[in-house]
Structure 1
């Protein structure tokens, strides 16, 4: 369970920024246009998250509730979450898009591990 909490916004394999056709998303309006009325998914963990324009995060992973809050600061997606009672610490992340179908979040303002989500 703790492993999944750590994986919610990062995968175990670091990926260099701007690799594989991903382009940085530095503007909040662009980010919102990508996630509007869509769900971020990682099928392996049955993870589905909605990032709402009012600053809330809502979703599930392995059938357990995810809640949280987010803001846009200096070109980064900053969030804190809770996964069914397990806090997921505040972190500001680099967001990159690959077309309109995938978003990659890299922790520690792009210096850490990454997680790639499909947009549904």
Structure 2
């Protein structure tokens, strides 16, 4: 079941043919997420990733909480979805200008593309 949940949350979303830039610095990542909600509308996923190192939001109607840090050029996070703990994972992050693409296992795993939607004040 844990693998199913992980597959759903990090489901493979087709990326467009636009150029992607891999983010390698914490400051680049923070600039990209500040003031935005990361969203996969089809899957009802909305996450806020804060500079303070916290993650909050919802996925499939259940709460998401977690912590993150930037380590060796990767977004490393621990998360809980509802009452399920998702395994710690370091992910490569890329941007196409309007979305962030997270690829698990330091870039060798599954990818999920999150639209960057402005956070409402």
| TM-score in terms of structure 1 length | 0.88
**Is 2:116 aligned against 1:114?**
no
Aligned equivalent of 2:78:
80
Q: Could you say what the CA RMSD is over the residues aligned between the two structures, in angstroms? A: 1.8
How many residues of Structure 1 are paired with residues of Structure 2 in the alignment? 115
Local SS of the residue matching 2:36: coil
User: How far apart, in 2, do the equivalents of 1:32 and 1:7 lie?
Assistant: 25
Aligned equivalent of 2:8:
7
- Verify the 8 A CA contact 1:77 1:92 in the aligned structure 2: yes
Q: Which runs of 5+ in 1 are unaligned?
A: none
Local SS of the residue matching 1:30: helix
Q: CA deviation at 1:14?
A: 8.3
- Verify the 8 A CA contact 1:14 1:113 in the aligned structure 2: no
The correspondence of residues 93-108 of structure 1 with structure 2, limited to 5 A, is: 93-99=91-97, 101-108=98-105
Q: CA deviation at 1:20?
A: 3.9
Aligned equivalent of 1:92:
90
| TM-score in terms of structure 2 length | 0.87
Q: CA deviation at 1:44?
A: 1.2
Shift in alpha-carbon separation, 1:54–1:69, aligned structure 2, 3 A: same
Q: Which runs of 5+ in 2 are unaligned?
A: none
